[in-house]
Structure 1
Amino acid sequence: MPETVVVDSAGAEMKLYQVKPEGAAKGAVIVIQEAFGITDHIMDICARIAAEGFLAVAPHVFHRSGDPLISYENMKDVMPHIMALNRTDVEADLTACFDYLAGLGFSGRQVGIIGFCMGGTISFFAGAQWELGAAVTYYGGGIVQGRFGLPAMLELAPTLKSPWQGNFGDLDQSIPTPEVEQLREAAAKAGVATEVNRYAEADHGFHCNDRSSYHEASSKEAWPKTVAFLKSHIQAG
């Protein structure tokens, strides 16, 4: 059953949406939201991850700016929350998640992270800062020029400490395919397992069935690859 827990993040209260698997969890996965909040899509991702045997937790990333739930068509209201993000707070929130999971017996390679859009950039950042079991990015931007208060992904790529999988749509004008290929090349030098999957008919947000850009075929092709990657690299608890 889904539940909400509250953790401390550098003196601020942060909610985690949590879904437990049936039986003992074989690891834990942090799910980082898009810029629209803990949406039905993010809750569904948590449920799907739990169904694979992992404990899933999704931090409310915008807890310092009102913790909104915003419609996918309303980018105007999203921007102030995105602009309020910074590296210090992101690191604090990730640390709070790791500390919470460590208290449940999951740490290091027993923990994975997956993120979508903004969350995909944050998950990549986490994979470069911590030695995790796996980090997965779905259409995370900021490859050449940093976004969300974080360094450019190209800057971080050679220092990846965690196995990383990237999933991108070729039709995504906000993340040009030449940049994706630059990232593929840079990440391959990191000394950890990396893979980049491109989907020729997919646009930004192709994995979210609540968005107009949802592309069913690409989504159904991508998800099994992600599950396999998580299971291959996250160490059993």
Structure 2
Amino acid sequence: MADFIPTRIEIPGPDGTVPALTVEPSGEVRGGVVVIQEAFGLTGHIAQVAADLAEAGYRAVAPALFHRSGSPVFGYDDLAELGPVIGAMTGDGIAADVDAAISELARGGVEPGRTAIIGFCMGGSVAFATAARRPLGAAVTYYGGGIAEGRFGLPSLLEMAPDLETPWLGLYGDLDAHIPVAEVEQLRHAAQGADVPTEVVRYPDADHGFHCRDRSSFHPASSADAWRRTLDLLTRQLG
């Protein structure tokens, strides 16, 4: 990450500016990626993901979805404190912030067709909802919940699945107590009804947060395979 250090920027939004992190690749820009935060904010993990994407040749922008609450960043044990912040979020506000990040990439010359969205935890659900709302180059969900029951005033992922407009990859751990395997399989089936390519990959030894090195649930083998699949999708869809 030393060679790809995230920069803090402010991007225009419909109700003011949106704080964000951005990282530029050192050479040719292969495409752009909107990185959607965990439920804990723009953590060091999200900054690392953005840096990893820049190292792979993609400009990354990670909007601070908590900016209406002051852009807090929580520790992984601060569940009581983050509840009210998440509860204040709305589907319209989230969509506005995501669209602002997509527009930021477009201003830099990366059009939506060469833009992907990747989200983790809460952000995985946001990535899915975005993929069902507008066409992009690719979308990746890392252990995103809300499969059977919608969040933030949005429909459930199962309800949105047939409307996917963006090629989508879902990555889930079988040990995730928050996301039942049965629901993941329901989502796999529902997504197959979309008009775009979709894929669900399950990791039998992985728990929630398996891609985050800062969490006790980090699972190196599952993380490495998931990241390889993510970059393969970006290569196929963005270049």
Cα distance in 2, alignment partners of residues 81 and 13 from structure 1: 19
Equivalent residue in structure 1 for 2:205, among 190, 201, 204 = 201
2:10 to 3, 6, 24: 6
> What TM-score, normalized to structure 2?
0.96
Secondary structure in 2 matching 1:113:
strand
Within 2, Cα distance between the matches of 1:181 and 1:27? 31
Shift of 1:224: 0.5
Matched, 1:41 2:45: yes
Q: Residue 93 of structure 2 is aligned with which of 76, 89, 93?
A: 89
Q: Does 1:109 align with 2:113?
A: yes
- Aligned-partner Cα distance in 2 for 1:26–1:216: 26
TM-score by length of 1: 0.96
DSSP 3-state at the match of 1:126? helix
**For 1:145, which of 126, 132, 149 is the aligned residue?**
149
Q: CA deviation at 1:100?
A: 1.3
What is the root-mean-square deviation in Å for CA atoms of aligned residues?
1.0
Q: Which letter maps to 2:116?
A: G
The AA in structure 1 aligned to 2:26 is: E
Confirm or deny: 8 A CA contact 1:114 1:135 kept in the other structure. Answer: yes
Post-superposition Cα deviations, 1:48-72, rounded to whole Å, max 9, x if no partner, equal 1011110011001100011101100
Task: Trace 1:60-71 onto structure 2 (pairs within 5 A).
Answer: 60-71=64-75
Structure 1, unmatched stretches of 5+, are none
Farther off after superposition, 40-49 or 6-15: 6-15
Identity of aligned residues (%): 49
Indicate if the aligned counterparts of 1:118 and 1:148 stay in contact, CA closer than 8 A: no
Query: Secondary structure at 1:144's aligned position in 2?
Result: coil
8 Å CA contact 1:50, 1:56 repeated in 2: yes
The number of equivalent residue pairs is: 235
Shift of 1:148: 3.0
Give the residue type in structure 2 aligned to 1:73: D
Deviation at 1:91, TM superposition (A): 1.3
2:223 aligned partner? 219
8 Å contact kept, 1:172–1:203: yes
- Paired residue secondary structure (1:112): strand
